[in-house]
């Protein structure tokens, strides 16, 4: 997605610890026109899939999920992060280990918000080690719902999350995939990858 790559190159800041700060347009500050481009692209990629609900995780996925939902005409549910492992009977919960922040937490959604007959599309801004998306997959499975796939804005292709999800035959559509990044040498993009394809550098 050229418009997104250009924006990442123009405004993204590579920080120590493999962190890419795109807060000026993708999360803490949201360019709503770009969000609409992102939503349209997710709708195009998943146009052959039945989607009845979009599931994301607080906080930075919420805005993208809500704008995207307009193109699918479905409700959005966001999972909350809890620090406790004890959850009520009316909630689905899944434990998540965050490599980035070094903490474990539990993601929860009320049981009544995901139904067995739902086909759930996961949406998130980043995919790196995949912990957050794994948690959302677990919540979807716990509800007995169908998983339509996962739409990710930026995948860090040099971290294992995308590979792990695809190995479980989960359809992951990443709008851009970063092959490597470094404060000195900048950001290198990969073509969107399928598990069996060779990766092509197209920076």
The residues binding a second copy (CB under 8 A) are 23-24, 28-32, 35-36, 58-59, 62-63, 65-67, 69-70, 73-78, 80, 109-110, 112-113
Tokens coding 140? 């979807």
Complex with a second copy: residue 38 or 165, whichever CB lies closer: 38
**Distance in Å, CB of 70 to a second copy, minimum:** 6
Return phi, psi of residue 75, to 5°.
-75, 160
**Distance in Å, CB of 24 to a second copy, minimum:** 7
C-alpha 56/C-alpha 21 separation (Å) is 20
Tokens 């957050």, located at residue: 132
**3-state class (DSSP) for residue 41:** helix
Residue among 66, 79, 58 at smallest CA distance from 140: 79
Residue among 161, 62, 67, 74 at smallest CA distance from 121: 74
**Distance in Å, CB of 183 to a second copy, minimum:** 17
C-alpha 32/C-alpha 15 separation (Å) is 25
C-alpha 136/C-alpha 147 separation (Å) is 10
Complex with a second copy: residue 32 or 183, whichever CB lies closer: 32
**Distance in Å, CB of 136 to a second copy, minimum:** 14
Complex with a second copy: residue 110 or 144, whichever CB lies closer: 110
Complex with a second copy: residue 126 or 189, whichever CB lies closer: 126
**Distance in Å, CB of 69 to a second copy, minimum:** 5
Complex with a second copy: residue 77 or 150, whichever CB lies closer: 77
């Amino acid at each position: 997605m050229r418009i997104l790559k250009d924006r990442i190159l123009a405004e993204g800041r590579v920080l120590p610890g493999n962190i890419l700060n795109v807060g000026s347009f993708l999360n803490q500050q949201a360019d709503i026109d770009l969000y609409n481009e992102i939503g349209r692209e997710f709708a195009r990629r998943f146009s052959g899939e039945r989607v009845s609900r979009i599931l994301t995780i607080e906080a930075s996925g919420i805005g993208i999920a809500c704008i995207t939902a307009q193109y699918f005409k479905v409700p959005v549910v966001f999972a909350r992060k809890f620090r406790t492992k004890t959850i009520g009977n009316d909630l689905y919960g899944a434990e998540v280990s965050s490599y980035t922040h070094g903490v474990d937490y539990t993601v929860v959604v009320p049981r009544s918000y995901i139904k067995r007959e739902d086909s759930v599309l996961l949406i998130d801004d980043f995919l790196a080690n995949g912990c957050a998306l794994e948690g959302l997959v677990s919540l979807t499975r716990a509800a007995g719902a169908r998983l339509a796939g996962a739409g990710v804005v930026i995948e860090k292709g040099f971290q294992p999350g995308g590979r792990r999800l695809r190995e479980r035959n989960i359809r992951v559509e990443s709008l851009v995939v970063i092959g490597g990044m470094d404060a000195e040498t900048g950001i290198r993009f990969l073509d969107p990858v399928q598990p069996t394809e060779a990766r092509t550098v197209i920076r």
